[in-house]
Amino acid sequence: MSYVLTCPNCGPREVTDFGFGGELHPRPTEAPSDRDLNRYVYFRRNVAGLQVEWWHHRSGCRAWFLAERDTRTNEVRWTAMPADAPTEGATAA
Amino acid sequence: MSLDFLTPALGAGSPPARSPIAGTAARDGGRLEVRGDWEVPVSFGDQAAERRATQESVGFADASWLTKTQLDGPAEALDGCVAGLSFGTASLHRGAWWCRLTPTRALILGAAPAADSVSGAQLLDVTTQYCALRIAGPRCREVMARFCALDLRPTVSPPTALRPGSVARTPGLVVVEEAEQLLVLVGSALAEYFWTVVSDAATRLGGRPVGTEVLRGEALDLQEASADA
Amino acid sequence: MTRLTPQPGERIDRSRPITFSFDGKPIQGYAGDTIASALLAHGRTTLSRSFKYHRPRGELCGCGQCANSLVDVDGRTGVRACSEPIREGIRVIHQNAWPSLDFDVMQATDKFGGPFTPVGFYYKTFIRPRRLWPLYEKVLRGAAGLGRLPKRQEERSWETEYRRRHCDLLVIGGGIAGLAAAITAAEAGLDVVLCDEDVTPGGLLLSEGRADRAQALLGQARDAGVEILERGVALGFFDGLVPVWQGSTLHQVRAARHVVAAGAIQQPLIFADNDLPGIMLSGGARRLGAVFGVSPGTRAVVATVDDRGLDDALALHRMGVRIEAVADLRREPSAAAAELQAAGIKIVQGATVVRAHGGNAVEAATIAPVDGGGQAAAVAAERIECDLLAMSGATHPAASLLLQAGGRADYESERAGYRVTEVTDAVDVAGATAGDDEYELAELSGQLAAGRAAAALKGGPAPHELEQRLASLRRPLNIATPPAVASDGESAGKYFVDLDEDVTVKDIEHAVGEGYESLELAKRYTTVTMGPSQGRFSQIPSARVIARATGIDLGDVGLTTARPPWQTVPMGVLAGRPFEAGKRSALHDRHRDRRADVRWAGDWRRAYHYGDPQGEARAVQTSAGLIDVSTLGKLLVQGPDAGELLDRMYPNRMSNLAPGRIRYGVMLSDAGRITDDGTVCRIDEDTFYVTTTSSGATAVEGQMNWWLSAWNLDARITDVTQGVAAMNLAGPNARVILSELTEIDCSNEGFKYLDAKHAMVADVPALVLRIGFVGEVGYEIHCPGPQAAHLWDAIVGNGSRAVTPFGLEPQRILRLQKLHVIVGQDTDSESTPFNTGMGWAVKFDKEQAFLGRWALEASADQTPDTALVGFTVPGNEVMVEGAVVVAAGEPAGQVTSARWSPHLGVSIGLATVPTELATDGQSIQISYAGNTYSAVVTTKPFYDPDGEVLRS
């Protein structure tokens, strides 16, 4: 695995520059039911295909940003800071 | 309570600030002297040869004493900053490289700005967080290529290019100061490691360590550092 | 074998002899020779012994593609003799034969073991009785494998450096297509790198007598600014990163586009005893003559299915090799045959070679007309004496990197092989790899690939015109499909489909018979294609055998994608330079001076102790000790919402902390599990100074920033771990020592437990935190790294009270006496505040939905199953960390920490135990290494249980 990811601040970098933050998985905004809490804490969609996910440019600007990536091919469609992300709920973590 | 403990107290009555590079540079033959209240390797035995290395192959020098100031503020405040803060490019402003890292954070390498010169943003001295090396000479990019995946080709990263990213497998930041001079920062706890890596690569390419005074940047030299302090 | 008369454009310089040794005997060659060409010029045809049967093997491809020529050079094993240039004085030793290359006792496995050693034989036979396997394995491993590593570490060292190279276009292969592509692209303004495996690029131009043309193109490429990596092997395609191995440098090439112009690999034919030395690919034989001036034989039989074989036969004839006969599998004479016939060379149409004869080298070949199944017509079989049997079994595109990148190749029966049918955006093909192997076609296809790359990167029109011209010049192919096996029907002899791994036709058929009908399964069962040549010469032959055995169409048998590395590469090349990114505190030189035992602690190099951990621990308790704790994570959290952020990050309340006060904080995940801990100190209204565990700083900063971006709070975090040094001065004399170095009031009233003060200490600005991890009155002094050594020296040399520097190990002893938990040591992924005795740190009465709140609330009314407790063990035995706590004969917990306590003079520890056993005085059983120990539970700290010393 050595594809290139584009940090919205720093530009294209080797993927090894980054920390992976997992798929976009918003935290409940209010106290969840036991079932929802369980789902939130322990379950992920784990898709084979396009997924919006968190990345951390830990070797560079240290910003967290979002990327849409195909988990099968590592093709990255876009990356963006959460505020600029073309997706719903990005800022709800 | 204050945050003064983040910054060495300089001047009369204070012990000199020891560069994080000092110990390892001394073991490599560097002569340590105090310049501008910083204890730095001023020479590695032959300043003429050191100067020649920076012109003919490559030389690398400690620049950890550079004042480093973090600037935090809302994106709009940083966008409107007088120094002109844009991503990917360091702007030289009043003897310092102003480096935009994120929408809300920048790093200023060199003379710290006056607090009232950056409205709507906060300054924090982070001088001690990084060690810095200047790597200069025709082979400076070849040296970097031995341990760094950043694309530093002159066509892609011309002078003033700002490249935060992994350097020697550790978080770093590169400023292309001149056509053949790079300023490279990594965390100060990695100073000895980083020096070893750069030294290994540079000496294999015919380069050598050089005294701090041999390599001066446009941004700031050591005398100014002391004057500023 | 001998040298030929000088060949036009030959690489060797006959005026510069070079001497090296082979198996101890001096061999003279010329500058430009490879090890193999020099040996062949001396008549040595056997270069190695085979992997399994120890059969003699000689030159096959002549260009470093096969495993037949692996030798040991100056202690480096697996060097390819046919591509490694000779150097003065190198010591070359054969591999895999004992006592000598010409007489190898292990060849008995060939002579006698043959029918008894099918694939899997060793494992199936020796696996029982199970207890003897280690013994068998030792013997078998000794007999297997190639080469021997030097015994001493110093002799195994390998100096390789990485070199990152970014470029627009990487051209892999420097034949005519690759050179044309590189020149075209560079002239179009692209930044181009070209790598080629040979000493000088040129590819087939070199072995076809056109070295001058290769030189001209190379010069043109250099002038255009192409960086040429000679002897540079592209090892694989890793998401666009291509490592190119060149001697002691591993170039990590990151190119925007790639052109694979690596040529095509001539395929062998399969017949009886097809592995004898002297049996070569026709292209390899020709290359030996043209490039190295070595006669590959004196009398040759050539077997071919295409015009390449005819062309090579003619070239060999012109070098002075007597061509006894050419067996051309095609029924009708090709147009190219005329020139051979004019030269008086006999061509037998519709025939191929069915058997080679000879002991240590080929002595004769039987050629015969064959039917579609490869069976010879016995009447027409003809045995011809020869010392060279050259074969041309069509070609296979060297498109491995393209396939790794997601491209595709499909079988085409008219070419008796595969053709690239799909390229990717990143990887294109040109020349023979693309199926265009004639000069003019190859050159055009190189230009076309470069044109496509330039259009993609620089904009501009796609080179359609070039594409059309290329298409118009392509001619129909005239290639016969070789049979899976050509045989004269006799039982004697072996038919090898894979020379690397000694896999025979029978082995493949055996595998199919056992149900391994797909190529992927047969490959794993027989190891076919898994040897050093990565299936270059065995993939298609084995696929043909499977197709024949199963009745599946060859095209449907498929291809396996050779995994990187495409060429065998020493491990040392991949290891890079031997530097580890170790962090060192600003005080590290002081630890060095005191000869500390320095060890890894996370990514830090830390002083573990200075020689006497027990003594250092005692010194802390009797006078004072000083420990470097600069490795603690230190974060500055600032801004109007800093308190709110911390209230959400920690289960207890931080926003009501008064400036100058400190609070302990444990960090949780949303599953309620403990992830880190540390202290929080409020500097002023908007500023908090947070410490984390030594290994947790980066992760905590990352997590905090993540939540910060999610919660949209007005706060900012700065990691000041590396720039701020910290040292903990602790012990009964700590207060006196500190008070002598600073002007602040150090009395217990003026500077209470969990107070923080900013002060000049020994002329150094410092933040002093009164906390006590080791249980004594203690001050954690944080100061700028560049002045830390001065402060350290001032404290150690204070001149009034003894201060003993102590390391991590004595600190661990002292904190264990206090039952202070170390996150990560005494906690694991199941630990919550409730089962580690830290329920007091959870404040459900605050309004924030802090991390872990919901999960903890869900289990708040339940008693945890386990508890973390202290224990003592009567006797002197110190428990092993990780030892099992046994209850009612079942594992019920484990020891998380254990030490000898110098203060108590007893063995102590921390352990997780079932909650019902977590009462003072309870006896528990601890078991490890077959022994069981009785221990006594303690729930209060062993030392200063009520914290009176700490607060005094």
CB distance from C785 to chain B under 8 Å? yes
C539: nearest Cα among C521, C553, C560, C563: C560
Task: Provide the token pair at C288.
Answer: 């030996």
Using alpha carbons only, what angle is made at residue C177 by residues C173 and C181, rounded to the nearest 5 degrees? 90
Secondary structure letter of residue C847 according to DSSP: S
Cα end-to-end span (Å), chain A: 26
Cα end-to-end span (Å), chain C: 94
Chain C, nearest residue to A42 by Cα? C671
Task: Provide the token pair at C240.
Answer: 């666009």
Chain C, nearest residue to A25 by Cα? C710
Cα C314 to Cα C10: distance, rounded to the nearest angstrom: 18
Which chains have 3 or more CB–CB distances shorter than 8 Å to chain C?
A: A, B
Using CB atoms and an 8 Å cut-off, which of residues 216-255 of chain C contact chain B?
A: 252, 254
pLDDT averaged over every residue in chain C: 92
- Within 13 A of B164's CA, how many CA atoms are on the CB side? 28
Encoded amino acid at C944, one letter: D
Using CB atoms and an 8 Å cut-off, which of residues 151-210 of chain B contact chain C?
A: 151, 153, 155-156, 168-170, 187-193, 196-197, 200-201, 204
Chain C, nearest residue to A18 by Cα? C702
Q: Which residues of B touch C683 (CB under 8 A)?
A: 1-3
Q: Do A31 and C705 touch (CB under 8 A)?
A: no
Mean pLDDT of all residues in C730-739: 97
CA distances from B11 to B35, C65, C372 (A): 11, 68, 95
A57: nearest Cα among B90, B164, C715, C580: B164
Helix (H) or strand (E) segment spanning residue B187: strand B181-187
Mean pLDDT of all residues in C686-701: 94
pLDDT tens digits, residue range C770-820? 998 999 999 999 999 999 999 999 999 998 899 999 999 999 999 999 999
Chosen from B71, B87, B99, B102 to mutate, greatest number of chain A CBs within 10 A: B102
Q: What's the ipTM?
A: 0.95
Task: Provide the token pair at C772.
Answer: 């006590």
Three-state DSSP state, C446: helix
Among partner residues A11, A59, A81, which is closest to B171 by beta-carbon distance?
A59
Instruction: Provide the b/e sequence for C547-578 (b: ≥16 CB within 10 Å).
Output: bbbeebebeebbbbebebbbbbbeebbeeebe
Q: Which residues pair with C936 in a beta bridge?
A: C872, C923
Chain B, nearest residue to A6 by Cα? B165
Min distance A10 CA to chain B CA atoms (Å): 6
Cα C297 to Cα A77: distance, rounded to the nearest angstrom: 59
Using CB atoms and an 8 Å cut-off, which of residues 19-78 of chain A contact chain B?
A: 57-63
B50: nearest Cα among B36, B64, B29: B29
Cα C902 to Cα C74: distance, rounded to the nearest angstrom: 55
Binding-site residues on chain A for chain C (CB distance < 8 A)? 1-4, 14-15, 19, 21, 27-28, 30-32, 34, 37, 40-42, 54, 56, 58, 62-64, 73-74, 82, 91-93
Cis ω for the linkage preceding C129 (within 30 of 0): yes
Encoded amino acid at C480, one letter: A
Q: Do A4 and C240 touch (CB under 8 A)?
A: yes
Cis ω for the linkage preceding C565 (within 30 of 0): yes
Q: Are C903 and C621 in contact (CB under 8 A)?
A: yes
Positive or negative, the CA dihedral C368, C374, C379, C383 is: positive
Q: Which residues pair with C866 in a beta bridge?
A: C914
Q: Which residues of A touch C256 (CB under 8 A)?
A: none
CB distance from B146 to chain C under 8 Å? yes
Min distance B166 CA to chain A CA atoms (Å): 5
pLDDT tens digits, residue range C317-366? 999 999 999 999 999 999 999 999 999 999 999 999 999 999 999 999 99
Min distance B105 CA to chain C CA atoms (Å): 9
Min distance C699 CA to chain A CA atoms (Å): 10
In order along its 229 residues, chain B shows pLDDT tens digits of 899 999 999 988 999 999 999 999 999 999 999 988 999 999 999 989 999 999 999 999 999 999 999 999 999 999 988 777 899 999 998 889 999 999 999 999 998 888 878 888 999 999 999 999 999 999 999 999 999 999 999 999 999 999 999 999 999 999 999 999 999 999 999 999 999 999 999 999 999 999 988 886 544 444 444 444 3
Question: Around Cβ C442, how many Cβ atoms within 10 Å?
Answer: 28
Cα C39 to Cα C280: distance, rounded to the nearest angstrom: 16
Among partner residues A11, A59, A63, which is closest to B102 by beta-carbon distance?
A63
pLDDT tens digits, residue range C865-903? 999 999 999 988 999 999 999 998 899 999 999 999 999
Question: Chain-centre distance of CA C295, in angstroms?
Answer: 40
Q: Which residues of A touch B130 (CB under 8 A)?
A: none
C584 Cβ neighbours under 8 A, 6+ residues apart? B189, B190, B191, B192, B193, C604, C605
C518: nearest Cα among C535, C498, C543, C555: C543
Cα C828 to Cα C711: distance, rounded to the nearest angstrom: 28
C257: nearest Cα among C396, C106, C455, C59: C455
Helix (H) or strand (E) segment spanning residue B142: helix B140-145
In this structure, the dihedral spanned by the alpha carbons of residues C692, C694, C695 and C700, taken in order and rounded to 10 degrees, is 20
pLDDT tens digits, residue range C932-945? 999 999 999 999 99
Question: Chain-centre distance of CA C609, in angstroms?
Answer: 35
CA distances from C857 to C392, C668, C837 (A): 76, 13, 16
C40-54, C455-469, C614-628, C932-946: range with lowest mean pLDDT: C40-54
A40: nearest Cα among C842, C705, C672: C672
CB distance from B163 to chain A under 8 Å? yes
Q: Which residue has the higher pLDDT, C488 or C149?
A: C488
* Residue C49: per-residue pLDDT: 87
Cα B79 to Cα B128: distance, rounded to the nearest angstrom: 26
CB distance from B165 to chain A under 8 Å? yes
A62: nearest Cα among B3, B79, B107: B107
C66: nearest Cα among C466, C568, C477: C568
Q: Give C490's pLDDT tier (boundaries 50, 70, 90).
A: confident
Cα C512 to Cα C549: distance, rounded to the nearest angstrom: 7
Among partner residues C161, C636, C784, which is closest to B128 by beta-carbon distance?
C784
Using alpha carbons only, what angle is made at residue B87 by residues B83 and B93, rounded to the nearest 5 degrees? 20
Cα C459 to Cα C436: distance, rounded to the nearest angstrom: 26
What does residue B20 show for φ and ψ, rounded to 5 degrees? -60, -15
Q: Give C858's pLDDT tier (boundaries 50, 70, 90).
A: very high
Cα C382 to Cα C405: distance, rounded to the nearest angstrom: 47
What residue spans of A1-93 are helical by DSSP H?
34-42
Cα C185 to Cα C447: distance, rounded to the nearest angstrom: 8
CB distance from C606 to chain B under 8 Å? no
* Residue C143: per-residue pLDDT: 56
B103 Cβ neighbours under 8 A, 6+ residues apart? A9, A81, B75, B78
Chain B, nearest residue to C682 by Cα? B1
Chain A, nearest residue to C853 by Cα? A31
Min distance C424 CA to chain B CA atoms (Å): 23
Mean pLDDT of all residues in C287-313: 96
Q: Are C733 and C625 in contact (CB under 8 A)?
A: no
What residue spans of C188-248 are helical by DSSP H?
204-207, 211-223
Among partner residues B101, B105, B165, which is closest to A59 by beta-carbon distance?
B165
Cα C177 to Cα C468: distance, rounded to the nearest angstrom: 17
* Residue C50: per-residue pLDDT: 86
Proportion of chain C above pLDDT 90, given as a percent:
79
B20-29, C299-308, C397-406: range with lowest mean pLDDT: C397-406
Using CB atoms and an 8 Å cut-off, which of residues 72-101 of chain B contact chain C?
A: 72
Q: Do C166 and B151 touch (CB under 8 A)?
A: yes
Going by their DSSP bridges, the two strands C417-422 and C408-412 should be labelled as antiparallel
Binding-site residues on chain C for chain A (CB distance < 8 A)? 238-241, 254, 406, 670-671, 698, 701-702, 705-707, 709-712, 849, 854-855, 857-858
Cα C415 to Cα C393: distance, rounded to the nearest angstrom: 11
Among partner residues B5, B124, B150, which is closest to C766 by beta-carbon distance?
B5
Secondary structure letter of residue C836 according to DSSP: T
Chain C, nearest residue to B12 by Cα? C763
Chain B, nearest residue to A5 by Cα? B165
Q: Which residues pair with C682 in a beta bridge?
A: C688
CB distance from C783 to chain B under 8 Å? yes
Mean pLDDT of all residues in C200-211: 94
* Residue C338: per-residue pLDDT: 95
Q: Give C147's pLDDT tier (boundaries 50, 70, 90).
A: confident
Q: Are B127 and A21 in contact (CB under 8 A)?
A: no
Q: Are B222 and B65 in contact (CB under 8 A)?
A: yes
pLDDT tens digits, residue range C226-246? 999 999 999 999 999 999 999
CB distance from B6 to chain C under 8 Å? yes
CB distance from C757 to chain B under 8 Å? yes
Q: Do A11 and B171 touch (CB under 8 A)?
A: no
Q: Which residues of A touch B172 (CB under 8 A)?
A: 59
Q: Which residues of A touch B151 (CB under 8 A)?
A: 12
Q: What is the pTM of this model?
A: 0.92
Chosen from B5, B10, B173 to mutate, greatest number of chain C CBs within 10 A: B5
Question: Chain-centre distance of CA C174, in angstroms?
Answer: 27
C540: nearest Cα among C393, C399, C437, C372: C393
Among partner residues A27, A31, A73, which is closest to C670 by beta-carbon distance?
A27
Helix (H) or strand (E) segment spanning residue C471: helix C464-473
Q: If you search the block for the tokens 């994608």, which residue do you land on?
A: C561
Which chains have 3 or more CB–CB distances shorter than 8 Å to chain A?
A: B, C
C30: nearest Cα among C71, C87, C113: C87
* Residue C121: per-residue pLDDT: 61
Q: Count contacts between A and B (CB, < 8 Å).
A: 50
- Within 13 A of C609's CA, how many CA atoms are on the CB side? 13
Cα A81 to Cα C586: distance, rounded to the nearest angstrom: 35
Q: Give C203's pLDDT tier (boundaries 50, 70, 90).
A: very high
Task: Provide the token pair at C557.
Answer: 């048998």
Encoded amino acid at C139, one letter: V
